Amino acid sequence: MSDTSDREATSSITLGRKVLPCPWNEVPSTTPIHSELENLDESSLAQQLQTEYWWVNKTRVKVGPDVNSRFKEIWLSSSSAQKHESRIDLSEYQVVRECLWVLLGAEKSFLFTCYTDSEILTKNVCLYFRHPACLTHLTYGALDSFLYSIAKYSTCVLQIRAFTEFVLLSPVGTVSLPFTRLAESCSRLKDDFYRVIASIERDARLPQVPPVSLINLANRLKSWFRRLAFMASLLLQVCSPQLCAIKSHNTPVLLLNRLEELSCTFRHCLSDPYMVNLISNVHISTTDAYLSDMMSEPELRNCLSAIPFVKFSSSISPSHPMFWQCGISLSIDNVPNILRPVVNDIVIGVKSLALLKAIASTFGNAELLATFKSRPLSKKSEKIPVEPEPSSSLLSFDDPELCELVKDMQMSSFTKGDTTCASVSKETDDLPHRTLRCLREEMKVILQKASAHLCSCLLKGPLIAVGQLATEKRDDEFTLIYALNHIADVALFRAGDRMYEFCRGLFSSCTDDQFDLDINRLLKSQLGLICGENSWMYERICIVACAEASREFLRGGPCGCDVINSLTLQIEIPWPLNVVLTEQGLDIYNRVFKFLLMLKRAKWALDNARCARPACSHTLAILRSRFLFVVNGLHTFIADHIEAAHASLMKEEALMANGCNLDTLLAHFSRFLTRISQLCLLEDSASQQILNQAITGLFEICLQFELPDVSESNLASEFTTRVAFLKSMLSQAVVEGGRRQNVIPLLQILETANRFNTDMRTRLHFNQ
């Protein structure tokens, strides 16, 4: 009896590629396998069969009576199948030897052919062109894939070899040092790889050692393949395909920036110690070469003209007064990342060295450069503080292939035997970023010393003159401090007694016909006592008077301040001191001099006022005392603050002479000029201009005391109005500017004068 439940039960059968549930009694009968195979076409068979397991070229395979054996005989004997699988019989040992030979650089072998080019990097390629048939456990597809990989990594070896030979065989000095160091590291990598290949070939020849299979070869060289591919990708990224392009000065910047990124990433993310050490050492050696090349003695003597990111102006020489501001430009795109934190110090150092060289040449003082000597940069420094290590996150790279290689190497682990190599030393004491920061900071210190040396020469000397100053007897006084002190003695009236004699003679004895001659005669007579007739400044300071300077100035007419404004204190400062004492700075000295001269002219008019009418003498005397109260207070306030500003400048310069750069000196001097300009109300702001006009008007009113028909009522009204206006304007300006504490004495004077005119009632009060 049959079991009907079996027939009704369902099962799943495979028809084609579909799985269908059906009852057992509906399952179709089994088709003989030979009819199913014979109905397939040849292309379908080629996709489903791995013929390499049982076919070898023209050898006829022995078959048995079974269907599969008969099919093998039929299919393998067809001419189309043999044409499709046309391969060359080789043993696995021969294929291994072929791979080793081509990896060692053999240009022609049985399976591979290589093309080399000494000038174009990308023309160095290896091709896999003959397909072998060997008895291995690899399929033909896997074998071909492996041999294609061998050709790919042989191409990497050829490109690395072409790069190293081009760089290392080039004449000395034609290729930049960073690329020379990179080529040396690539050569070490190639030599280490060749030693590994030699050890594999030696093992393959030993009879007692199992034969080297293709799988064993792949395992032993897997890490080296990644290293070679990575280095070749790096070369293609930082070098132009035209190898001659690496002689350009701008090329090392890309190399240094890429190595810095790789070194940081590898140090934190890569498990291959050999590659970590290799990249770290390449990073250190290339950066050290880049910095040392810049800091070498010949380059210092040429003022670092070979620095790619520093460009000298062709129209402004180092002996030009504007060289410091306009003589050098910075191309920030060509600055390596390692130097960006100190790029300003580098530019200042370059300008300082250029000025030192020009000064030494002009004044015949070779000691200026002999004092500053370069020295080789050391790779370690314990005194320089080190910042914390950068973040350990994986950096991004511009080259997708390079990024994939880094990720692949990061996820791969290598055995100790694969990663040990004696030729690449590991920095055990310092990390690369520590070593390179030491190099960078040491370079910064060297350039800062050059800047400080220039500053010291300008401030304290000695500068030996051989040009315009050759006939002068006091060349030891040709310094910036000497010039600043004597300019302040004249322009800022610091030489009180001597400049008082100048003002007394100017205000009392000049005539219209000889005004220009007399004013310079008066100045020279006092200047000879201030600095001496033998001083280099004696002939460089004079006053130029225009045609408007007339007798009205001496008599105190209404145009007195206008006449003073038409005067010019002319100061000629020779190079190199005019790098600091520029025309703009000397113009501020001239404007301050004229303002102070107007102030002293007003004070002189009040001090020497004599009333021609006896009936008005008492009232004018009281009014004069009120004017003097304001003018003397203003004079004392301005003179004291100018003296304090000058003393502060001299103190700062004395300290800066021991160690600073010219930019710092210029910044201090600019703040000093701004300060004295503000004290004399010479700034371009609206409030300063309004205050200046009000005070200048007050000075002109003071000159009316010298007129014979002066009106005391008009003077009193003008005085009251202007003092009240000055008090309100100055109070508002200083409160808004946040400097109220500095002008409290002047505000107290104006408030007292204003209160005296408006609140106090006396029988002599003129506002009744």
pLDDT digits (tens, 9 = 90+) for 570-603: 888 888 888 888 899 999 999 999 889 888 888 8
Query: Once rounded to an integer, what is the mean pLDDT over residues 491-496?
Result: 86
pLDDT at 161: 92
pLDDT at 468: 43
Query: Once rounded to an integer, what is the mean pLDDT over residues 21-26?
Result: 47
**pLDDT above 70 coverage of the chain, percent:** 64
- Write out 277-327 in H/E/C secondary structure: HHHHHHHHHHHHHHHHHHCCHHHHHCCCCCCCCEEECCCCCCCCCCHHHHC
Residue 38 has pLDDT above 70, yes or no: no
Residue 14 has pLDDT above 70, yes or no: no
Report the C-alpha gap between 368 and 580 in whole angstroms: 19
Residue 210 has pLDDT above 50, yes or no: yes
Residue 741 has pLDDT above 60, yes or no: no
Report the C-alpha gap between 486 and 466 in whole angstroms: 23
Query: Once rounded to an integer, what is the mean pLDDT over residues 543-571?
Result: 64
Two structure tokens written together for 648 = 């502060």
pTM greater than the 0.75 cutoff:
no
Query: Once rounded to an integer, what is the mean pLDDT over residues 244-258?
Result: 76
Residue 172 has pLDDT above 50, yes or no: yes
DSSP, collapsed to helix, strand or coil, labels residue 545 as strand
pLDDT at 454: 81
Q: Are strands 132-133 and 88-89 parallel, antiparallel or unpaired?
A: parallel
Query: Once rounded to an integer, what is the mean pLDDT over residues 63-80?
Result: 56
Confidence of residue 616 (pLDDT cuts 50, 70, 90): low
Residue 650 has pLDDT above 70, yes or no: yes
pLDDT at 589: 92
Whose structure tokens read 């001090």? 607
The full set of domain ranges for the chain reads: 1-30, 32-85, 89-246, 297-449, 475-758
pLDDT in tens, 692-715: 888 888 888 887 777 777 677 777
Confidence of residue 517 (pLDDT cuts 50, 70, 90): low
pLDDT at 756: 59
pLDDT at 450: 77
Could you tell me if 245 and 266 are in contact, meaning their C-beta atoms sit under 8 angstroms apart?
no
Query: Once rounded to an integer, what is the mean pLDDT over residues 261-273?
Result: 71
CB pairs under 8 A, 24+ apart, for 188-194? 188/278, 188/423, 188/424, 189/160, 189/227, 189/228, 189/231, 189/278, 190/157, 190/160, 190/161, 190/164, 191/423, 192/421, 192/423, 192/424, 193/103, 193/157, 193/224, 193/227, 193/228, 194/104
pLDDT at 391: 39
Low-confidence winner among 23-32, 124-133, 204-213, 242-251 (lowest mean pLDDT): 23-32
pLDDT at 155: 92
Query: Which of residues 139 and 7 earns the better pLDDT score?
Result: 139
Query: Once rounded to an integer, what is the mean pLDDT over residues 666-695?
Result: 84
pLDDT in tens, 286-336: 888 887 777 665 545 455 555 777 888 878 888 888 888 888 888 888 888
Query: Once rounded to an integer, what is the mean pLDDT over residues 242-262?
Result: 78
Confidence of residue 215 (pLDDT cuts 50, 70, 90): confident
Two structure tokens written together for 128 = 């896999």
Q: Which CATH superfamily is domain 475-758 in?
A: Gamma-tubulin complex, C-terminal domain (1.20.120.1900)
Residue 25 has pLDDT above 80, yes or no: no
pLDDT at 759: 43
Low-confidence winner among 328-337, 401-410, 607-616 (lowest mean pLDDT): 401-410
Report the C-alpha gap between 600 and 591 in whole angstroms: 14
**pLDDT above 90 coverage of the chain, percent:** 3
pLDDT at 157: 92
Averaged pLDDT of the chain? 71
Residue 1 has pLDDT above 50, yes or no: no
pLDDT at 422: 39
